[in-house]
Amino acid sequence: MHSSADPVQQPSQTILPNGLRVRLIPLLGSSQAAALVRVHAGSHDAPSAYPGLAHFLEHLLFLGSRNYTAAEGLMPFVQGCGGQLNASTRERHTDFFFQLPADQLEEGLRRLVDMLANPLLDPGAQLREREVLQAEYQARAQDAETLCDAALGHALDPTHPFAGFHAGNRDTLPVEDVAFQEALLGYHRRFYHAGQIELLLAGPQHEEVLQCLAEQMDAGLASHPLVRREVPPMRCKANGWFRLQLSNAQPRHLLAFALDGLPEHAVPALDYLSTWLASEAPGGLTQRLRDAELCQSVKLRIPYWYAGQGVVVVELLPTELGMAAPAELVEAVLDWLRFFSDDARWQPCHEEYQRIRHRSLQNAEPLTRLRYWVDPLAWSLNSEEAAIKQALSLLTAQMLGCAPLVLITDKTSCPAIETSGFPLCLQSEPPQQTVPTDWGWQQPAVNPWLKPELLRYEAADTSPALRWQGPEDMSGQGALFLRWQFMRGESFPALSHTLMHALQSVAWAAQQAGVALRFEDLGDAWCLRLEGFAEAIPAILSDIMAVLSAPPAAAFTEGQALADRDAALSSDVMLVRQLLNRLPRLLTDPTAVPGLTAASSSLARLWQTAQWQGLAIGFASSMSGPLTDAVHTLPGTPMLVPVARSMPVTVKRWHDVSGAAAMPETAFLLFCPLPDRTAKCEASWRVLGRLIEADFFRRLRSELQLGYAVFSRFCQFGEEAGMLFAVQSPTASANEILDHVEQFLSDSTVKLAEQDDDVIERAARQASDRHVASASDFRAQAEQAWQSLQAGHEIDRPIEVAAAMRTLQRQDLTVALEALRLARAGWVAVANASAPDAGWT
């Protein structure tokens, strides 16, 4: 059986009496557990008369079941535990998954099986949830990737289910009709039973305990045999070129391949191909196209795959030069595929791929492991390498045997076409030709960080600006956090984007080596994070110093362009997520005064004034030498005296980020900073955040039906901690959303006053028990330590806050809610809309 010491051994599958297929992954020492259920039915299995029925049912299952009301169900339960959960309806399967503290796994599974087996499907809840799907449909109707896939379906084979509309909206879900209700119940009966479901569990529990939990779930599901489903053949229009109008998205070129009749091992073969096609290694496809100034990035997407049939898309983000030469880009990709399909590439690339997969699973979180192993043919130590190689050969032969469908997206005006789902402005174009180029492809360079040759030795002396925190992590993880502080009142978006661009290929290589590299722009500070496989971190830091200090000249040009692009909202990324990306800069930089332009001389001047501080956690003492040597080459000067913290001001600041882009939806963020820095204040706000999170979601999403993207939580951005409220809505204005948030806080005051004492005490006690990250949860422990230091606290701050939580009374939460409601430390609102007439600066 799979264990945490053997991350690439595929977990075996067993079938329980009712038919539930189960795979168990004991993770000794983990503080977290996870569950993933895959129902083998999706949007293509729903009745054709009711597009979106499968997606709609996925939503309805969260709205109450026989033994748990909506307020007691899986979503509020996992949220209350500080966990994570989600669900996804794809073409031929639907997934439900969550991760939470290990001691709560059984309670989570009880709720999961009850919602799958015994949903209420209340008519009133259906009417309300249909409006949520309508809001989601309207948002997706502006999403670039969604529209691209819809255009591909129309162009590839309009008779295949892939071309159909399956998201669902108000018009396709007639919940008032008896026939629809019969279809909904029929779909649930046909597919939501043990024979159609797989369960994967991961956690620190012994195998026998996990097995017992799986048996409980099997017993709670109806017993029926697996339903077999037929798939019509997929045909591709030969040599088709199309153009799709996308006004608020970055231009892209898509090469789509319709594949059919491939063996089951085509699944790992596609993952293998994707790894190398998107590789940013020197000499690889991406780097060569970038050096030729034709393309910024390359990736492979699979918008549809089932039973050896699918649509594989190579997506390129072209430069201006590449936009003018699409045929050259298409030919380059096909030429690289011919090179890569040669047998000579298999052995060296396969060995590197094995190291990459091994490192990606090493110390992966429980849910990450489950999402990998849910594919029964995912690469493992016992994979059939010959079968994968043969499948790769058949796969690339099909891709090269017929010209791909080419889809170009830009702002060019195209006619609207008639569709049954998402609106498309699409036109066909004559295929373009080019003279083939001899690219002289070579084997991409190996990733040196996958096999670091670290010479260990202890440091003679260390900088006081770098805090060392032990002990050594026994699972081999480490984390290095670095923060550069600048003068208050200026921001440097062009320069930060320059470094982000320059670090792009570095971050990719680090990720392959098991290290997450992230560069963050916090307005008047920049932060570099390296978290993961400890032995690789000193080499990575040492190797990227030249990039940080003196990026290549092309990065400055691209950095300025990225900063200009980032200043405008787009349909490439969900609107509320774009606002979240901007929020940290706006919290510490209220004036948002543009700073230096993207030039090497400007960056050099900025580094001269920067002061850095950092935290190294989890490293062995024998690694302090190479890590310290790398730190000594950091740009800027060590921060020996902490920066004085400013007192909060009771000012309401509103940031209108709409720019010139007209967006059909409104996104709104409200961040409420802590009024003081005491442990008791933080404890009160954190507990309050847990108490109101589910209520906020239920009020604004389910009852008021403002939109599908609604959440609230306590969080920290850089040194700023507080409460965050977020809403994206297709119907409500920013002012209306603000009114709803204020009304919710007012109503929460009444509810808190009426709440039973034992409910408040239990919430505070549970929050206290779970607040301090477990020693076995290295990521959470490192994150807490870094957040404490950034906020100007000692590393043991979480212990202090947890102790304060245990002493909280109703009055403490009442005071916290009043301070929150009255903006005692000010409010920061970010929206793609103008501020209210009064009360905001």
Q: Give the C-alpha distances (Å, rounded to integers) separating 622 from 26, 469, 538, 632.
A: 31, 14, 12, 17
Lookup result for tokens 């890590």: 627
The residue type found at 815 is V
Residue entry with tokens 């997520």:
577
Q: In angstroms, rounded to a whole number, what is the distance separating the alpha carbons of residues 744 and 171?
A: 31
Q: What are phi and psi of 287, to 5 degrees?
A: -65, -40
Tokens of 72: 């007691």
Do the Cβ atoms of 480 and 530 come closer than 8 Å? yes
- Please report, as a single letter, which amino acid is at residue 207: E
Place of tokens 């609107």: 575
Nearest in space to 74 (alpha carbons), one of 48, 105, 45: 105
Pairing status of strand 424-429 against strand 416-417: antiparallel
Tokens 């590439």 correspond to 345
Which of 58, 136, 535, 682 is catalytic? The answer is 58
Residues pairing with 300 in the sheet: 314
Q: Which of 213, 205, 218, 164 is nearest to 50 (CA)?
A: 164
Starting at the edge strand found earlier in the chain, the sheet holding 666-673 runs 652-656, 827-831, 666-673, 720-729, 709-717
Query: What residues have CB less than 8 Å from 232, skipping those under 6 apart?
Result: 159, 160, 161
User: Nearest 5°: CA angle at 302, between 299 and 305?
Assistant: 160
How far is residue 560's CA from residue 599's CA, in Å, rounded to a whole number? Answer: 9
> What is the bridge-based pairing of β-strands 827-831 and 652-656?
parallel
Q: Is the bond preceding residue 471 a cis peptide, omega within 30 degrees?
A: yes
Yes or no: say if 727 and 706 are a contact pair by the CB < 8 Å rule.
Answer: yes
Where would I find the H helices in 9-104? 53-60, 74-80
Q: Do the bridges between strand 652-656 and strand 666-673 make them parallel or antiparallel, or are there none, so unpaired?
A: unpaired
Category of 759 on φ-ψ map: left (φ > 0), alpha (ψ -120 to 50) or beta? alpha
**Residues 109/115, Cβ–Cβ less than 8 Å:** no
Coil vs helix vs strand at 760: helix
Give 527-577 as a DSSP string.
Answer: EEEEEEEGGGHHHHHHHHHHHHHS--HHHHHHHHHHHHHHTS--SSS-HHH
Apex 664 CA angle, 658 and 666, nearest 5: 60
**For residues 657, 658, 661 and 665, what is the CA-based torsion angle, rounded to 10 degrees?**
120
Integer Cα distance of 434 and 329 in angstroms: 10
Report DSSP letters for 783-823, one per residue.
HHHHHHHHTT--TTHHHHHHHHHHT--HHHHHHHHHHHHTT
On whether the CB atoms of residues 371 and 97 are closer than 8 A, the answer is yes
58 is catalytic: yes
Residue 622, sorted as left (phi over 0), alpha (psi -120 to 50) or beta, turns out to be: alpha
The residues carrying an active-site annotation are 58
